[in-house]
Chain A
Amino acid sequence: MADENGKQTETESRPWHQTVTLLLVSLRLAALVATSTAAGLMAFNKETKTVTVAVVGTNPILQSFTAAFQQTPAFVYFVLANAIASLYNLLAMLLRPCLKNRGRQVLVHLLDMVVFALVVTGAAAAASMAELGKNGNKYARWNPICDRFEAFCIRGGVALVAAFIGAVLLLLMNALSVVGLTCKNVTSNNN
């Protein structure tokens, strides 16, 4: 009788467990897309503007100004953090058959939290830099740069939005994997 009850709880909870697993995989895929978009957009973010600074006789002297992501440490960290996050999500999706073990699932859950923290800090630092570039800080005599480098700012903004979406998706994944881990605990304890 205990066997029947055990089997019944297993088959009853299986559709719920399958839903959770399916949701987790789709969330991970979406987070992979979001973080890789953010990293790629910011990594190829570069704008060069050539202006005439002086005219000597009839020859104009040109000088080119470049805005690139390497010039700001916050953006470098942003690209690195999102690249690490997307690589981790890719690995976690590819190695899913090897991760059926419960101990390994706990490890994946903890690594998920680490990667979530990475993405959040990267996005926050880049957001503070972006706000400064857009509005400037008149008290520190820092002029905004977005009026001169519009394309740079727009691309950076889209990358930032993608990173925030990735962070929200990672948070949902965190909550869902907690649900998945505790439910598994009960079904294995019921047997």
Chain B
Amino acid sequence: MRLFKCRVPIAAPCSITKMVKSFRVLYLLLRLLAAAAALSAAIVMATSHDSTTLLGITLEAKFQYNPAFEFLVIANGIGFCYSLIALFIPSSLLSRLVIMFDVIIAMLLTAAIAAAGAMAQLGKNGNTHAGWLPVCDQVPNFCDHAMGAMICALVGVVTYLLIVLYDVHMLLSPKLLP
């Protein structure tokens, strides 16, 4: 018995209907949007820098000083590279692999924004029980940059959610598979 008994037809029929074509265009647009959002999130977070002098002590805020923000930059960089690669993959052979990687990259991006969100909430409100003071009133520029980066990353996450939904739809109705 062959291991993979289920053969989903992976070659589209010759007559691609208009609906399928528009779905393809939408799919490409979604990927471009995801790539743009991930790139902008990475760049905005990477260029965030602010410093202030308080009682002779310089308080400097950079994204490298915080592992969660580093993770955000790296994850969005990976998401951007993957989105570009997935745009140019020849369709039929690797579509299953692309679908699997889509889910993984989407979860990577959501984890990154979750971690950065937790850190940002701590930076804004502090934690009195642990004796951690909020830093956003001292370095407001950094906080605004970080907020912008997280908004871009959120757009990327929502776009990847739509891409994953489209992948599931493609798998369940095989004539839409490229």
Contacts and interface: CB of A to CB of B under 8 A. Distances in A.
A and B form one complex: yes
Interface of A: 12-13, 15-16, 66-67, 71-74, 106, 109-110, 113, 116-117, 120-129, 131-133, 137, 139-143, 145, 171, 174-175, 178-179, 181-183, 185-187
B118 A74 contact: yes
Nearest to A145: B130
Contact of B107 (A73, A106, A116, A140): A116
A16 B5 contact: yes
A71 B111 CA distance: 22
Interface string B109-144: 011111111110111000101111101000000000
Interface of B: 1, 5-8, 59-62, 65-68, 71, 99-100, 103-104, 107, 110-119, 121-123, 127, 129-133, 135, 164, 168, 171-172, 174
Given A113-B164, A137-B66, A186-B6, A125 B114 contact: yes
A142 B71 CA distance: 19
A140 B123 contact: yes
B111 A182 contact: no
Nearest to A129: B118
A133 B68 CA distance: 13
B8 A182 contact: yes
Looking at A74, A116, A137, A140, which has the most chain B CB atoms within 10 Å of its CB? A140
20 contacts: A13-B5, A13-B6, A66-B129, A71-B130, A73-B121, A74-B121, A113-B103, A117-B107, A124-B114, A124-B118, A127-B115, A129-B118, A132-B119, A142-B132, A143-B130, A179-B6, A182-B8, A182-B172, A183-B5, A186-B7
A179 B99 CA distance: 12
Contacts of A129: 118, 122
Looking at B7, B127, B135, which has the most chain A CB atoms within 10 Å of its CB? B127
B98 to A, nearest CB: 13
Looking at B6, B71, B104, which has the most chain A CB atoms within 10 Å of its CB? B6
Contacts of A178: 99, 168, 171
Nearest to B106: A117
A60 B124 CA distance: 37
B100 A125 contact: no
Looking at B5, B113, B114, B123, which has the most chain A CB atoms within 10 Å of its CB? B114
Given A183-B6, A186-B8, A171 B172 contact: no
Contacts of B1: 12, 15-16
Contacts of B135: 140
